Structure 1
Amino acid sequence: MRQSSVALSFPNPSRSYDPARHCVCFWGYDNAREISFLVDDAMLKKLTPGIGPGEPALLAAFDHNRDRILGLAKNLYTGGSQNRYTIS
């Protein structure tokens, strides 16, 4: 059963690039529970065609598309015991 995404919030604007996983990581919260989200490089390039390579460009693409990415995260979030989601 899918929980309402209303409980998920993103009060912490921090994000980081993980070169080993080729993704930008950010965190949401369902009450006191921290939920990790990963946006892979391919998705960031799809959201921002023509971005340059490397960490600064991928973080800038994330920042430019933050609202859209947070919306995707809310749609993907199902609650329950899972605490990591990948947006790809």
Structure 2
Amino acid sequence: MKKSAVALTFPNPSRSYDPSRHCVCFWGYDNSREISFLVDDAMLTKLNPDAGTGEPALLAAFDRNRERILGLAKNLYTGGPQNRYTIS
């Protein structure tokens, strides 16, 4: 399947922490389709080893690495029916 990463955009800068899944969630859009992305705690800790482990620290780690994480999301995104991806 051909990658559709070019169509994926991130116009909404919001993100949230999901304590039940131990991840930061954010959203991208492929035309009108909303695509959910989850970045697990382990990945955020790998990107920022000194960040800490609570919700504020993990959200701050996401913010510091936003461009890198968005790049990973674009590389992971394949288009098609799947609408949730995990970055770990």
- Superposition TM-score, scaled by structure 1 size: 0.98
Could you tell me how far apart the structure 2 residues matched to 1:4 and 1:53 are? 34
Percent same amino acid at aligned positions? Answer: 84
Q: Partner letter of residue 2 of structure 1?
A: K
Aligned pairs, number: 88
Could you tell me how far apart the structure 1 residues matched to 2:61 and 2:3 are? 29
Asked if residue 79 in structure 1 is aligned to residue 79 in structure 2, the reply is yes
Secondary structure of 1:45's aligned partner: helix
Secondary structure of 2:42's aligned partner: helix
Moved over 2 A (4+): none
Alignment-derived partner of residue 3 in structure 2? 3
Unaligned runs of 5+ in 2: none
Alignment-derived partner of residue 69 in structure 1? 69
RMSD: 0.6
- Superposition TM-score, scaled by structure 2 size: 0.98
